[in-house]
Amino acid sequence: MRPLPSATIHMAAAYRWPAQIVVHPQSQTTAGFWIDDRPIMSLPLTGTGHDLGLAALQALSCSRSKVPVPNYKGADWTALQREVWGAAGQRSFRRFMANAYYVGLRLSDGVLTLQPTRNGGATGPDRGFRPLLEATLKMTAPADPKTLGDALSTAWSRCQPAEANIWEQETAAQSD
C-alpha cells in the first residue's frame, strides 16, 4: 500500500449486502468529477473489522487524480461497471442496487469522512444513493485498520435501504 499524501483528497466506495462487501477507490477526472476505479475488492460479510479497514485503506491509497474522462459508451467503462457488479455477485445495475448499502469515504487534510446514504433504487426520479448529511461520521485519519473497519460498520448501520426491495418483490411474485 502506498502512503497517502496529505495535501490531496482520496475517495473510496464501500458497499454492503446481506452476505457481501465491495470496496473500491474512486478517482478524480481531469474535468473534476469522481468516478469508480480499480482495484475492486470483495469481502465476505463475516470478515473482521481489521480486514474491512485494510481494504478501505487500500482503496483510499489507490484513489488517483487527473484521470481521463471515460468514454461512457466504451467497452472499458462498461467492463469496469460489470466488474463492480460482479464483485457483488450481481449481473445488472438493478440487481446491484437491490439491498445495497453505500458509504462514501473521503480523506482530506487528515480527516476521514464516512458518508452514509439512502438507497433510492435503480430506477425512477429518486434513483441512486443520496447522502444522509445528519448521519455523517468524521474521524482523524485512522492509524489502525480495525478502527476504520468498525467505523465503516457503524456508518452502514446509519444507511437507509431502498423502499422497493427487488428480492421481496420477486419472492412475492413467485408465491402468487
* Tens of pLDDT, residues 69-123: 999 999 999 999 999 999 999 989 999 999 999 999 999 999 999 999 999 999 9
Please indicate, yes or no, if residue 3 is contained in any of the structural domains.
no
Is residue 163's pLDDT more than 90?
no
* Tens of pLDDT, residues 142-156: 779 999 999 999 999
Please indicate, yes or no, if residue 138 is contained in any of the structural domains.
yes
Mean pLDDT in residue range 25-41:
96
Cα–Cα distance between 61 and 159 in angstroms, integer? 24
The total number of structural domains that make up the chain: 1
Return the amino acid letter for 131.
P
Choose among 161, 174, 149: nearest CA to 121.
161
Burial letters 53-89, b for 16+ CB under 10 A, else e: bbbbbbbbebbeeeeeeeeeeeeeeeebeebbbebbe
Please indicate, yes or no, if residue 134 is contained in any of the structural domains.
yes
Phi-psi region of 128 (alpha: psi -120 to 50; beta: other; left: phi over 0): left
Is residue 164's pLDDT more than 70?
no
Please indicate, yes or no, if residue 42 is contained in any of the structural domains.
yes
* Tens of pLDDT, residues 38-66: 999 999 999 999 999 999 999 999 999 99
Tell me if residue 143 falls in helix, strand or coil.
Answer: coil
Please indicate, yes or no, if residue 2 is contained in any of the structural domains.
no
Here the cell at position 161 is 435501504
Please indicate, yes or no, if residue 36 is contained in any of the structural domains.
yes
Count the alpha carbons within 13 Å of 132 in the hemisphere toward its beta carbon. 19
Please indicate, yes or no, if residue 14 is contained in any of the structural domains.
yes
H or E, element range at 82: helix 75-87
Return the CATH number at 113. 3.40.1590.10
